[in-house]
Structure formats: C-alpha cells, structure tokens
Amino acid sequence: MNRTPFLLRRGLALAALMVLAACAPRLDIPSYDLPREDMEAFRARFVTPEPEGHGLAVRASLLYSTPTRSNRTDVQLFGEYARPLRLDVRAGLGTMLALMREDGAGLLAYYPDKSKAYAHSDPVIGAQLLGLPFPFALRDLAFVLSGHFGTLVPETPDSIRANPGGGFAFSYKEGPVRLLVLDQYGRPERMEGLLSKYFRAQVERDGQPVSGPREWSIKFSGYPEEDGDPIGPAKTLTLTLPKGDSAVFRVRSLQLRQEPWQAKSLALALPAGASFMSLEQKAAPAAAGDVITGGGNNEQREHDDGKTEPRS
C-alpha cells in the first residue's frame, strides 16, 4: 500500500494547523516580579487614568446567600460618577423590589411592594442599616465596576508581602481598603476592609449573638483579556461577609456614558401615599406620582397622577 498520499495529506494538515496557531491572537500580559513594579502597573491601569465619560450604565445579576437562604436578583446601576447614581433591584421575574438614589444628600431607598421609603445622609451606613451587603458607597462601586480604584485604595502601603502564587499583598492602616492583593500582572485579585458597626449578618438579624472580626472581602475575576478580549475591568465580584453571608455580582453589560444623564432619568420621587422613615429623623422628600426606573436605553416608568420632580 502506498502511504505517500496519506503522509502528504497529514503533513499538509499539520502545517495548516501551525499556520492557524501562529495567526491566532495571543495574550501577552507582562508579569511583574517586584512589589514596586506590581504597584506601578496597578496604578497605571486602575488609578491614574481618568474615568471615561460622565457616568455609566451597568446591568448585572446579584446572588446574595446566607447560611439559611439565597436570593438572586437583577440590578441596574446607572448615573453620573459625580452623582447622582441610581440602583434598581428586580426579582428574577422582573418584579421591582427596590429603587435607590445616592446623591450629595445621602441615600434614598424606596420599596414599591410595601410603599415605604428610607433615607440616611451616609450612603454606606444607610445601606447597611437596611440590610444591604454594600461595604462602600454606590459611587465607589461605580468606579470599581469601571476599573477605577482611586477612591478606595490609599496611595502608600504600610507593609508588603509576597504571594506564593505570584503578585503581592499591600496592607494599609487607614482607609476603606485595608488589604489589596495584586496578581502577577498588577490586577486587583482581592481587597479587604472593615465593616461599620451598623452592618448585621443574617444570623444577627435572626436574633443570634455573634462576635469576631467584622470584615469584608471582595475577590475579582473574569478579566476580559483572559478570554482574548481587550483589557478591561473584572466582570465578577465575589463579596464575602461575616458569619457565612456572601454575594456574587456578575456584570452582564457595562456602558460608559459620553454625555451627561438627563436629570429626570436619575430622579427618584416618592409616589403619593408612600410612607417615609428617616434613619436620622429628618423630613421626608416631596412626594410625586411618577417614579422613573431603569437606566440605559430601556427606561421604564410607573405612572400615576402627577409629575416627576427631581430630588435635590
């Protein structure tokens, strides 16, 4: 049997595969072996550049789990980096669960199913008093989702240690972030900080006394260049909280806004008849009959009599 044609065909096939492999895009991410290089790479990519545009519109899923239950929701975060920012939370079937607005006056949260609203001048304390797993303000979250860490990470670390798998961990005595772990490419791998005394884990809300460190930790994963896409921010944030609480935030889409948002798109006025509770005993915002929901190109409105008035 003459094997020459078979061998020739196999050789040509192998050559074709080698050509295709040579033409395929390759990930050429530089590795940083010294802490100074690692930190400089981090700051050059995630701190120094100004955020692109005026704001953003993010669609994501949020899976919040406790030792006894779990709940998956769809969230929209949209608005201006300089604030106001809006956060809408929907159940999996589309039912609106909560609408929130963060601005210079603090946090306003409205729950349509109960027709109740709450407010606090400190957006972090307000969120944690309401049982939300946010360790920092919506503004900081918007920056982080866009790949900017300058509002959270102090400039100079107090101590440094090498990680066994590559990269370095930078510790800070003050600031929202007390530990920043960078991988060997200078990308945020994990960061940790302290929760306020107002945060309560689910077991605490269930009436069980607990003790121990009150800390949060966020792990970053799903960087786009790992899939051959251009560089960008992490797509998955995994938040670990005390006593078994956790949250997984998966970004489905991220749109950067080149033009400012219209004021009415970021308004959150309470419908007539809604009850209001200030978490600091302050007066309720003016009521209105039109609550604007949703960011980006899919704005939705819940209509009633009256006209929307932006909250000051």
* 264-289: pLDDT as tens digits: 999 999 999 999 999 996 667 766 44
Percent of the chain at pLDDT above 90? Answer: 67
Q: Return the closest-CA partner of residue 266 out of 57, 53, 123.
A: 57
For residues 188-201, average pLDDT? 91
Percent of the chain at pLDDT above 70? Answer: 82
Does the pLDDT value for residue 15 go beyond 60? no
Does the pLDDT value for residue 43 go beyond 90? yes
**Total-model pTM:** 0.83
For residues 113-133, average pLDDT? 92
Lowest mean pLDDT among 77-86, 173-182, 196-205: 196-205
Lowest mean pLDDT among 6-10, 118-122, 135-139, 243-247: 6-10
* Amino acid at residue number 136: F
Half-sphere exposure of 70 (CA within 13 A, CB side): 8
Domains of the chain, CATH where assigned: 40-257 (2.50.20.10)
